[in-house]
Amino acid sequence: MSDNGKLRALIVEHERATPGGLVYEWLEAHDADVEELRIDIDDRHVDPADYDLLIPLGSEFAAFDDHIPWIPREKELLQEAVEADVSVLGICFGGQLLARALGGKSFRAGESEIGWLPVRTRDPELVPAGPWFQWHFDTFTAPPGATVLADTDVGPQAYVVGRNMGLQFHPEVTPQIMDSWVHTYRHELDAEGVDPDALLEQTRRQAAVNRRTSWQLLEAFLDRVARLGKA
């Protein structure tokens, strides 16, 4: 904790970053001290021990593409965080890279997952069945020692290892985030045959339920996984 007793969180963002939506709202509700790191343009060394929680967000890039210079640096940051017993919550790309950092693999999936999709959950109090918003073309194997809590036919959707959790879906998504994603990545939707207007409308209809479901997951993560529930 910081000197004032607040939860200290570092949000790791990437190119074309979109503000973390419900994750930011949740951290604000906990009166957390939040810093942001645009790791793709900021190559300074960050000591994860300065924080209680790291949250690497999604990216348009593949978590297995080490030709991109900042991906190995972020992987090393996540390894250092785990070694320092700093809790990590990895979201989409962040969850895939966390899996890699801990010994799993990330690779191109047999099929994409785009839209509001349910997951098969083994612990609905921690990871509700959704539907959760998905937009990804890659998948991963859970790292050694991890417990997979949710999956789909494409691959793992949530896992826990130690005080860390990786997610394939996007609990942070809001209608505002979706507007930005559809504007930026409409070509991906067109290529996959996804109707962007229908996706935006479904996101608006789902917003209130998704906020409650995401809050449930984030609170359970903080209490049961990160064990920072008294923050």
CA dist., res. 69 & res. 38, Å (int) = 13
Alpha carbon distance 163, 78 (integer Å): 12
Asked whether residue 4 carries a pLDDT value surpassing 70, the answer given is no
For residue range 84-109, what is the model confidence (pLDDT) as tens digits?
999 999 999 999 999 999 999 999 99
Confidence label for 5 from pLDDT (cuts 50, 70 and 90): confident
Rounded-to-integer distance, Cα 59 and Cα 132, Å: 17
Known catalytic residues are 92, 170, 172
pLDDT score of 1? 64
Under the banding of pLDDT at 50, 70 and 90, the label for residue 70 is: very high
Least confidently predicted of 1-10, 39-48, 206-215: 1-10
In three-state secondary structure terms, 159 is strand
Helix (H) or strand (E) holding 203: helix 196-220
Query: Tens digit of pLDDT for each residue in 119-135?
Result: 999 999 999 999 999 99
Is the peptide bond prior to 72 cis by the omega test (within 30 degrees of 0)? Answer: no
Residue range 43-52: average pLDDT?
A: 94
The average confidence (pLDDT) of the chain is 93
pLDDT tens, position by position, 139-156: 999 999 999 999 999 999
